[in-house]
Amino acid sequence: MSRSSIAAWLALIVALASAGCGGGSSETTTTTDTTSTTGDEVEATPEEQAPATPRQPPPESAAPRDVHLPPSTRVTLRNGLELDTVQADRLPIVYARLVIRSGLARDPENLPGLAGFVAEMLKQGTSTRDSGDIADAIEYIGASLDVIAEADSIALQIRGTADQLDAMLAILADITMHPAFAEAEIQRLCARETDRLAVAYSDPATLARREFYRLAYGTHPYAHVDITPATIEHLTRADLVAWHRTHFVPSNAFLVVVGAVTPAASQRSVERAFRTWRGGTVPALTFPAVPDRTGREILLVHRPGSVQSVIAVGNLTIPRSHPDFVALDVANQVLGGSAASRLFMDLRERRSLTYGAYSSVDELAGVSPFRARAAVPNQRTAPAMDAFMEHLQRIVHEEAPQQEIADAERYMSDSFPLQIDTFGRIAWMVGYLRLFNLPDDYWDTYRSQIRAVTPAQALAAAQAHLHPDQGIVVVVGDANVVAEPLARWGEVRIVDTDGAPLTIEQIRAAAAAHE
């Protein structure tokens, strides 16, 4: 090997050794292109030489489209039971929702809450199975069962896989037609309901709702939002059996089946499960008139030592089926329907009076209440009332700006598709149509109905159905602190947490004696 070759090899070895040890060096090593003999830097690629492309704004969203429920097949069975089937095959799941068209509003006058007690007892045993057997049967087929009592209905819903439809309907039919109302289960539920009411009546928001409904409805059955201690004390098994026999009849019910089942298969399964269900017609009920107010009424529920006041302000409005309901709902959305609405933004964000302030219009078959509500520190009760009255007067006297109406409608319209994301929700929405006698295509045009409401229509609905000068104010708080400030809005009537009348003198005397 020549001397020059040896030198080249030595140079290569040194270079390789330097490269291998370079990771531990603090010096920077520059690597050059071995194909170049000029030492010039490698030229940039055309992409590197081109200027950066300006970022483009996202495209405008398309106009919201109406959301169409899957088609429903509706039949009336021989026994009078109405069946709606919605075939949806994307999942092997089935929901069956049975709705009885009688709820808390059909309670006997002397036993408010009886309907809800009947509903609670349905899962506590039948003529052939006790509560444990029912729970085991539901678990065995991988299903779930819920029973819900509301003002206008009792709903029984069972959910499971499509291959277990017959088994699910058999359980549903059994608890619907053959509740045992066993004395031991009645006493157990009475004890549980007594404990629950004791907790509920210590909650100021629950007290405010209870007293608001009592004041708003008077002798109308909607006045009762829960069972009472007196009902628990006096109800008998015969009361439960009689109410169930009267109202749980097929002509007073409808069943919605949604999921991986054809209408024909659904009808066969339902007819097989409910083949022995018979019954007459539910007696017609004439509700008493609700109170007619000519001025504002203020009720203060004295809760000694309370550090905050729960405020509810409102009045009775319209049934859910009323043609003004959507426009009124838009007006309510502007006022207090969400955290972006006027009440929340003012009472919380601007004035820092509360963690949240909202309003709503209940959805009932009969006349429904509107309520604006918040919980505030006792010392801030007066400014909170000022804010409520200011916004209530504004919503009924000023046309909301077009942008504010558009924002409210966008919120309502854009959130609507999220309400039909499961088979269970579809079953509920079909049942909603039947319960409130709404058109079959109501949900198909619902988003269009919302977006069609103009500022003038929202104002007209608010003016027609919201009455702050003839409304109800219910405050739950310490009367020693809040009674005097409330008087600026009208005469204040005071009751204790059980509804018994009190005077401010009695309250102050009791407070002085306690000290």
Report yes or no on 443 lying in a domain.
yes
Residues 454 and 323 in one domain: yes
Residues 253 and 335 in one domain: no
Residues 331 and 258 in one domain: no
Residues 239 and 321 in one domain: no
Separation between Cα atoms, residue 492 and residue 414, nearest integer Å: 42
Q: What is the mean pLDDT of the chain?
A: 90
pLDDT in tens, 149-170: 999 999 999 999 999 999 999 9
Residues 205 and 317 in one domain: no
Residue with the larger pLDDT of the pair 5 and 430: 430
Per-residue pLDDT, averaged over 17-25, amounts to: 42
Report yes or no on 94 lying in a domain.
yes
Report yes or no on 213 lying in a domain.
yes
Q: How many domains does the chain divide into?
A: 2
Domain interval for residue 223: 72-273
Report yes or no on 385 lying in a domain.
yes
Separation between Cα atoms, residue 251 and residue 254, nearest integer Å: 8
Q: What was the pLDDT predicted at 32? A: 38
Q: Select from 370, 386, 397 the least CA-distant residue to 313.
A: 370
Residues 242 and 301 in one domain: no
Q: Which residues of 307-322 are buried (b: 16+ CB within 10 A; e: fewer)?
A: ebbbbbbbbbbbebbe
Residues 317 and 426 in one domain: yes
Residues 115 and 203 in one domain: yes
Q: What was the pLDDT predicted at 41? A: 44
- The confidence band for 45, taking pLDDT boundaries of 50, 70 and 90, is low
Report yes or no on 175 lying in a domain.
yes
CATH number reported for the structural domain that contains residue 210 in this entry: 3.30.830.10
Residues 191 and 302 in one domain: no
Cβ count near 11 (within 10 Å): 10
pLDDT in tens, 198-252: 999 899 999 999 999 999 999 999 999 999 999 999 999 999 999 999 999 999 9
Percent of the chain predicted with pLDDT > 90: 80
Q: What was the pLDDT predicted at 29? A: 38
Report yes or no on 96 lying in a domain.
yes
Q: Select from 230, 289, 277 the least CA-distant residue to 250.
A: 277
Residues 316 and 251 in one domain: no
Report yes or no on 494 lying in a domain.
yes
Helix, strand, coil shares of the chain, percent, nearest 5, are: 50, 15, 35
Report yes or no on 15 lying in a domain.
no
- The confidence band for 390, taking pLDDT boundaries of 50, 70 and 90, is very high
Q: What was the pLDDT predicted at 55? A: 82
Q: What was the pLDDT predicted at 48? A: 52
> Which of 241, 273, 305 is where one domain is finished?
273
